[in-house]
A and B are shown apart, each in its own frame.
Chain A
Amino acid sequence: MRVLITSHSHPRVQNGGSEVASHALFERLRACGDVEAWYLGCTRSTAFQRAGQSITQPFSERDYLYTVGEFEDFKFANRDTGFARDFRLLLRTLRPDIVHFHHYVNSGLEAFACVREQLPDAKIVLTLHELLAICHQQGQMVTRPDGNLCRRSGPIECNRCFPEVQPSDFFLRTVYIRHFMGWVDRFVSPSHFLAQRYVEWGLPEHGIDVIENVARETAKTSAMLRPPRSPGDLTTLRVGFFGQISMLKGIEVVIEAATLLEREGRTDILFSVHGDDSNQPAVFRSTFRTQVAAFGDNIVFRGAYENSEVDALMADVDIVLVPSVWWENSPVVIQEALRNGRPVICSDIGGMAEKVISGQTGLHFPVGDARALAGVLKALAADPELRQALLRGVAERRQDDAFDAHLQLYRGLLQAREQG
């Protein structure tokens, strides 16, 4: 079996969840005896460009990198003629049986038609990593500018968020995206939530497989080996927040809950906040920093961290908090927390609610409700047995191997091709 994995980015360029997952899938495919695999990442940096070539190989023999040319971000149209030429050539050279796209940004939707044209027998798989096709607001399905959760997109609805864009243009955007998605043989979604949104948007329900992202193979770190504290140690509840310090990630909910607890004189619930706030607007950033500084020891801002440090950092918390006020599709931080044996307290919506089973691997609270979050934390602090039960739940959770599921999907597609 010959498989080409493409991603909108490359882990050597940027360390986002989907490029890490797609590259992990590629690495594991390479390790299989009967699979030939290649990876095509993308970058908008010109650092790796060679004059006259749009696709280069700066990292390894099986690793390609496309330097993005003219790209139309509204409808994900790749207008770069160099890519149209070089991608066709690459397809003819590698002759993959499976072309598995992760994302449609940067390579562009037309790449699907390109595969079909060049390799009529190849199967096209697309992993949907976010809701960009459905929502122009960075795929967040959160209204602009007021930040309310959005449950339905459409020309009229989207025009409300973007009055400068005509409803007819939103309609055309959708038609264009669907037109090219029509070439895809199989869709993969890392969560049921995300899959459901795409079905509501118009993808065929039976065409989407829900398969979790493939995790990067990591050596067991000291943190992962360090057992959670014994019941006797449970005098304090150490709550960890990991991720972007942003409004959508629910940082304001954390601050508000901490404020409520402080006013009640609670000193047994301690927050440590890990993440980067450097991309945030200046006002947001200074407000956040001022608020955190005003607290005593019960909330500490630890700043940005490298992905490789996350296991060690999680070792120092009892639970991980994911209070996002947008849907989240399949947050990496939940995977990381569960991998580290930490229960998760999260908002009761979207990919978060799906990935954390309330009462088993964590607890839910109503999205955006700081008082409810404070209540959940107090209950947990007061109930050592519940904490133990959640720890057990995390340890005993059933883990499907996402990689095997991918292999199975590819084999199924090729089998159907041979039969059909």
Chain B
Amino acid sequence: MSMMPPATQSTHGCIDFLSYSASLDGWLAGGWIDLSWDDRDEPPAYILEFGETKVEGEAVVCVFPRPDVRKIGVGVLLFMPGVSQRADAFQDAILIRDGRRFRLTASEPLDRPTEFEAIARTKSLISSAMRSSRRAHLLRLLNRPTFAGHDTLDTLQPPVFLELDAACLCPPAGLLLRGWFIDPFRSVASIRIRCGAESRLLDTDHWIRIPRADVRQGFSKQFGGLIDECGFLAFVGDVYSPGETVYFEVQGRLGDVAFKRVAQVRSAGVDTIKETLSNLELRYDELARGYDHVLGPAVAAMNDFRLMEAVDYKEMTFGDSPAHPRCSIIVPLYGRIDFMELQLAFFSRTLGRHHEIIYVLDDPTILRATEALATSCIARFRLPFRLVTLASNVGYAPANNVGLKLARGDYVCFLNSDVFPKTPGWLDSMVAVADARPEVGVVGAMLVFEDETVQHEGVAFEVLPEFAGWNFSLHPRKGRYPSEDESVQEVEAVTGACLMMPMALAREVGGFDEGYVIGDFEDVDLCLKARERGRICVVDRSARLYHLERQSQGGQQSSWRLNLTLYNAWRFQKRWPPAALEQLAQGESEGRAKKAELAGAAE
């Protein structure tokens, strides 16, 4: 025991040792407390002060005889459930009983044993403590089994089954867990994920349930009352540290504990995003829950990690592009490079030489073929262009943003590779619209299908009840005959298939938000960012281009692609909740009214 510290008026004892126990999820401490402490079963509140940071909760307190302080106090052992902190910042522990504060200050120096030393020391000291339910409880905790590196789940009675199919890192420290769980006797009280000093409770109320008929059938002879939805997809944040073993700790209602090791944690990439979003069919209210608690944070983390490194690229020039172009056309290429051939053929007759064309190849697997085709295109069509090739496949928004960085025009026109001009002068017309009206932030085009029906004449938002009541961008009048009207019309947003804006504005808003994965919603997001800055979106109906829609080969769209759209939709709702959209529209109409008023007054 340490030397007795000087008792001052403001202290009521002392903390001699303090250690955080990850397996107990709390702090173990020992010291002494003055004789006025009322030792009874009711747990006192505690506050641990670590500089500015405080950890609070209810403490388990046991006293024991300590001859060295017998005239002024008794020995005390404390267990304070709570989160881990840096122990060297510890200052004081405060116990609060009946409104009275007992301040226990850190001894000089404070002993900071390891978790296991602290458990051993507490166990040895507690043997001399008075018998009480607190003592029994603390002993139970101290005698709790700890993970020794092997699975003990099969020791639980009644039986519980937990298997993990995949654990995927959601950087920096989150984990996405896919597996199945059967608790036929409802005997499990909690499941925790542990890794090193960190532990997180698995929120089974919010994990996504997945039908696993195969698992149910396998157990249905043994147990009754099983349901198909015994599969799960769960996310736990902030738990993983590299090099540490990850394991489940399953606690029964009787306090019994067992462990299950997580064999492998996979690193994250596009493939894991795809796997995460495969074979799920969430609709209505499950959708918001599933994305809020599991898919949203998991996919966001994986995507952020994917984009952490700057995109490596190189640029080739074919012919002499203008040094000061009016507009820079940026076209990301993926898979179909023959679209570049078609576009350049058509541009050679529909595009003035005062614009520049930048292709961004977002598909390194076809680099050589693209370079060869680019060489052939300049030889045949004699229309200068720049080809930027990315070292890895990064997706729509990042690919466009690389193009944006390199663009030199007064304006930028984001164009899909499957959009082909129908009328000559389409881009000059769009540029003229923006030139004439400084309030215009985004100009879209009139896009038609091959049968001349409308593909896009502006985007509108619509709430879809089957998809959590989220806002989705729709193309009104799609598939219908277009009107002859060739005017310029204000719209809520325009499609990124052909979206032109002033270069300065595009750079000011940071281009496309790369948090949308692969390619949905970032175009309308970009439009809303422009509107947020007081600019408007219009469609120039005289600029007509073809936008071809591909028929899906396998009938239904693959489930991961649809779920990815839903992820992007979720992200869009977080960024632009309905109230924000309404506010934007309201602000604009007020602005218009004010303008009209001013104009009226001027007259």
Residues of A within 8 A of B (CB): 70, 72, 75, 77-81, 84-85, 110, 113-114, 117, 155, 166-168, 171-172, 175-176, 179-180, 182
Contact = CB atoms under 8 A, between A and B. Distances in A.
Contacts of A81: 375-376, 379-380
B113 to A, nearest CB: 70
Shortest beta-carbon contacts, A-B, top 3:
A168-B548, A171-B450, A84-B379
A140 B118 CA distance: 89
B342 A155 contact: no
A245 to B, nearest CB: 37
A79 B376 contact: yes
Interface in B393-441: 418, 420
Contact of B380 (A78, A155, A166): A78
23 contacts: A72-B338, A77-B341, A79-B372, A79-B376, A79-B380, A81-B375, A81-B376, A84-B379, A84-B380, A114-B380, A117-B382, A155-B451, A166-B550, A168-B418, A168-B450, A168-B548, A171-B450, A175-B546, A176-B342, A176-B345, A179-B346, A180-B345, A182-B349
Given A77-B341, A84-B379, A172 B420 contact: yes
B375 to A, nearest CB: 6
B551 A166 contact: yes
A110 B420 contact: no
B346 A80 contact: no
Nearest to A174: B450
Interface in B206-247: none
Nearest to B338: A72
B348 interface: yes
B381 interface: yes
A180 to B, nearest CB: 8
Nearest to B350: A179
A175 B449 CA distance: 13
A155 B372 CA distance: 29
Contact of B376 (A80, A117, A179, A180): A80
- Counting chain B residues whose Cβ lies within 8 A of the other chain, the interface size class is 20 to 34
Given A110-B345, A172-B548, 19 more contacts: A78-B380, A79-B341, A79-B376, A81-B376, A81-B379, A84-B376, A110-B380, A113-B380, A113-B381, A117-B382, A167-B450, A168-B548, A168-B549, A171-B546, A171-B548, A175-B546, A176-B345, A179-B345, A180-B345
B290 to A, nearest CB: 33
Contact of A179 (B349, B373, B375, B379): B349
B346 A175 contact: yes
Contacts of A167: 450, 551
A75 B338 CA distance: 10
Contacts, number: 56
Contacts of A113: 348, 380-381
Nearest to B418: A168
Q: Interface SS of chain A: helix, strand, loop or mixed? A: helix
Interface of B: 338, 341-342, 345-346, 348-349, 372-373, 375-376, 379-382, 418, 420, 450-451, 546, 548-551
A175 B548 CA distance: 12
B381 A110 contact: yes
A155 B449 CA distance: 12
Contacts of B550: 166, 168
B551 A175 contact: no
Contacts of A78: 380
A175 to B, nearest CB: 7
A110 B382 CA distance: 11
Nearest to B341: A77
B447 to A, nearest CB: 13
Nearest to B375: A81
Most buried by B among A79, A114, A176: A79
Contact of A172 (B342, B349, B375, B379): B342
A263 B380 CA distance: 62
A180 B341 CA distance: 13
A168 B379 CA distance: 26
A175 B348 CA distance: 14
A114 B376 CA distance: 13
Contacts of B349: 179, 182
A54 to B, nearest CB: 11
Contacts of B375: 81
A382 B597 CA distance: 97
Contacts of A85: 379
Given A110-B381, A168-B450, A175-B420, A79 B373 contact: yes
Contacts of A75: 342
B462 to A, nearest CB: 26
A182 B372 CA distance: 26
A168 B339 CA distance: 12
Contacts of B418: 168
A81 B372 CA distance: 9
A356 B381 CA distance: 44
